[in-house]
Structures are given as C-alpha cells and as structure tokens.
Amino acid sequence: MSTSSDLELLSGPTASELPPAGELLGRFPLTANPEPADDETFRRCMDTLAFGTSFTDHMVRATWTPAEGWHGHRTEAFAPLTLSPAAAVLHYAQEVFEGLKAYRHADGSVWTFRPGFNAARLNASARRLALPELPEQDFVASLAALLAADSRWVPSRPGSSLYLRPFMIATEAFLGVRPAHEIEYLVIASPVGPYFPHGFEPVSIWVSESFHRAGAGGMGAAKTGGNYAASLLPQQEAAEKGFAQVCFLDATTNTALEELGGMNVFVVDDDGGLRTPSLTGTILEGGTRGAIIELLRDAGRDVREEVIQLEDLRAQIRAGTVKEMFACGTAAVITPIGRLAGADWDAIVDDGTPGEVTTSLYGELTDIQYGRRPDPHDWMYRLA
Ligand SMILES: *Cc1c(COP(=O)(O)O)cnc(C)c1O
C-alpha cells in the first residue's frame, strides 16, 4: 500500500488565520444578475429545499492559463457555460471539486465550516489531477463573494443550509492527452434542507466485493468526478437490491473497509472506543471525519485510525461487540448505519437503531455549525 508523502494530513489555515471576509470581498468583483429569480421562484426554491436542484442568482469564476496564471476573477449571473465540445474535461475528466455549506445563525449572520481545510484539499486534489492550485485566500474570497451577492438564498429553517460547490475544470479545446492549458474555477450554490427531514434514519449499506472506487496510486484521495463515475454502477446495483449506499473495499486485497462513494465510515465498539479506516492513499480525507476525530478525542474517547478487515468486523457485529456504525460527510453530516450486507451475508448492527455516540456526535457537530455551542477549534468562519 502506498505510503507516499501525499498521505500527510491536510492542514489549511483555521478561521482566525484567514483575513475577515470583508477584506477579501474585492477579489471577485460583482456584475449583478439583471434578472434574479422573481419572488415566486425564490419562494418555491426556499420552500422545497431539494438537494442540488435549484441554484442561486450568481456564480463566481476565474480562468487560468500558463501565461497569465489566474485572471478574470469575477462574480456574475448564474448561467450555462459556453464550452467547446472539444473541452478536455468532457473527454478526459480533468476536474476536481469541493463541497461545503453556509449556515445561518440565529442572529442572521452566515458562517461556513473549516473553509481553510477545503481550500487545502482542493489544492491537494488539483495536484493529483495536474490542475493549477488556487491561493487559499482566493478560495475563501470566492465563497465570501458569492455569499455577498446571494445571502438571501441561505435558508433559516432548522437543519437547512446553502450548499456551496467550488470546482475546477479543464476547458481547453484540445483532444491530445496532456494537462490542459486553459482551466476554469467556478463556485455555484444550492439551498438545501435537512438531510433527514423525518429525523435520524439508519441506512443499509451494501459492501461491494466486485467493484472498487479507487486503487493504489490512483485518484482515491482526490475529490474528483472520476471516482464518483466509478461508484455509480455499484450504487445502482445496490439500490436495486434495496440498499441506500455502497461501501467499498480496498482494491489490493479486497478485504479491508475503505469508505462509501462520498462518505467516510466509523465503527463504535462496546468499550466506548471508535475506529475508522486509516488514510491509505485510496480514501478521501473528509473534513467531517477529521472534526469527529477531534471532538471524540476532546471527550477523552479512544479513536483509532487503522485497517478494518471486513471479516473481523462481521465477526464482531455477530458477537455484539460492535455497538454502532455511521458514515459522515458534509451533505448528511452523520448517517447511522443500521445494516451491512454482501453477496452471501447480512448483518444488523446492534439492534439497527441509531446509537448514543452517533446521535450525540451529530448534535455536537451541528450545534457548532449553527452557532448553538462554542467553537473551541476555530472551525467557523463568518462569510456574511
Ligand atoms: C467529499 C467526500 C467525503 C466527505 O468529505 P467531507 O469533507 O466530510 O464532506 C468522503 N468521501 C468521499 C469520496 C468524498 O468525495
């Protein structure tokens, strides 16, 4: 398994190490959308809050070329892109993305969670995809610029937020295979409701023993669309069997738990300790994963990052020593896992209901994100 220096933990600036949003605002100058959503459309979007279906009035963008570096920083009307059919991203998938949320606090202010981490991760992903890095402050400035233009789109209903999607794509019209010479960075945003509108619902997970999302030396540690493309067919097959998500195993031995298509996984043992697969180079380092590890260690819990063998885990679930399992990521925050199954086996985790550790972690993390509890790790950054 790879042990290259790529496996160093991502560490971007914490919130107070970044300039305040007000100081970053000039970096992506605004040309206001002359036709923003009318009241009725806006109301409908904010009442529905369906994930990733409606978008705000503006988007942020910048262009990169080898000669000019990053230029053309701007905030403008959300609109379809004009792209050559020969644009490299459409053929060779040279792209990376990020996902974070803007949360409205009780006093009306708007905050995001660990943007410095996401900035550092975007750049780590960009390096793997031979894309240019974006200065971390410009990443944060791009979020602040979008929020300055579109703050009315941050919902205030409990559990809702504005999902922010920064991404970088190769736009050069060239079918040769090499890193593209023209790149576009954009940020779009979509108002979203709570992931579990009816309360915490445990999901069932299909463990894929025939498909993998990433291999040693591949792109597993990068947040890039290709990894998601690889997960779609197994995801579809699992859905046909009645499972909500797929958990992938390592591609080398096909025995160790890695992660879901877009979420990291944790196991809670009966001694109160927790385990999560170690970052081997084929797992995406989640910001939620890292925050959960810190919160658990603050609370004095033992958290181990280690190889988790599926066979051992199945035996431990059967023996009743595994008390809880959950998945985590920005979109859902924490998803309890109630059932785990594969080609010739099926296991209910404990009694299949959300456990105490899972439930209290969810409360703790979302309380910090929504400003209902102190933020001892300097995670929250004010955007507007
Ligand atoms: C984005 C993502 C995660 C979760 O990362 P967060 O920073 O917690 O949102 C986990 N796995 C994969 C493959 C991802 O793309």
Ligand 1 touching residue 223 (CB < 6 A): yes
State how beta strands 322-329 and 264-269 pair.
Answer: antiparallel
Determine the Cα–Cα distance for residues 98 and 260; give it in Å rounded to an integer. Answer: 17
Ligand 1 touching residue 226 (CB < 6 A): no
Question: Which residue in the block uniquely carries the two structure tokens 């644009």?
Answer: 87
Handedness of CA 110, 113, 119, 122 (dihedral sign): negative
Give the model's pLDDT for residue 4: 45
164: amino acid identity, one letter:
L
- Give one DSSP letter per residue of 34-97, joined into a string: SSPPPHHHHHHHHHH--TTT---SEEEEEEEETTTEEEEEEEEE--PPP--TTBHHHHH--EEE
- Can you give the pTM of this predicted structure? 0.96
Atom of ligand 1 nearest to the CA of 330: 9
Ligand 1 centroid, distance to 332 Cα (angstroms): 11
Ligand 1 centroid, distance to 43 Cα (angstroms): 30
Atom of ligand 1 nearest to the CA of 98: 1
Give the model's pLDDT for residue 7: 59
Determine the Cα–Cα distance for residues 124 and 203; give it in Å rounded to an integer. Answer: 31
Ligand 1 centroid, distance to 289 Cα (angstroms): 8
Alpha carbon 238 to chain centroid, angstroms: 22
**Residue ranges in the chain whose pLDDT is less than 50:** 1-6
Pick from 224, 250, 264 the residue to mutate for probing ligand 1's pocket: most ligand atoms within 8 Å of its CB: 264
Pick from 223, 224, 228, 285 the residue to mutate for probing ligand 1's pocket: most ligand atoms within 8 Å of its CB: 223
- Nearest-CA residue for atom 14 of ligand 1: 262
Contact of 380 with 369, CB cutoff 8 Å: yes
> 99-150 pLDDT, tens per residue?
999 999 999 999 999 999 999 999 999 999 999 999 999 999 999 999 999 9
Ligand 1 centroid, distance to 211 Cα (angstroms): 19
Instruction: Calculate the alpha carbon distances from 231 to 223, 237, 261, 302 in Å.
Output: 13, 10, 6, 32
Of 74, 66, 77, whose CA–CA distance to 32 is shortest?
A: 77
Q: Which residues, at least 6 apart from 353, have a Cβ–Cβ distance to it below 8 Å?
A: 202, 336, 338
Contact of 223 with 98, CB cutoff 8 Å: yes
Ligand 1 touching residue 102 (CB < 6 A): no
The residues that bridge with 183 in the sheet, in sequence order, are: 64, 170
The structural domains of the chain, ordered by start, are: 4-193 (3.30.470.10), 203-370 (3.20.10.10)
Ligand 1 centroid, distance to 330 Cα (angstroms): 7
> 57-78 pLDDT, tens per residue?
999 999 999 999 999 999 999 9
Give the model's pLDDT for residue 5: 44
Atom of ligand 1 nearest to the CA of 291: 8
Ligand 1 centroid, distance to 376 Cα (angstroms): 23
Q: Which residues, at least 6 apart from 239, have a Cβ–Cβ distance to it below 8 Å?
A: none
Residue 113 φ/ψ, nearest 5 degrees: -105, 115
A 10 A CB-CB count for 263 gives 25
50: amino acid identity, one letter:
A
Atom of ligand 1 nearest to the CA of 220: 13
- Nearest-CA residue for atom 2 of ligand 1: 262
- Nearest-CA residue for atom 10 of ligand 1: 263
Angle at 220 between CA 338 and CA 362, to 5 degrees: 35
Give the model's pLDDT for residue 8: 65
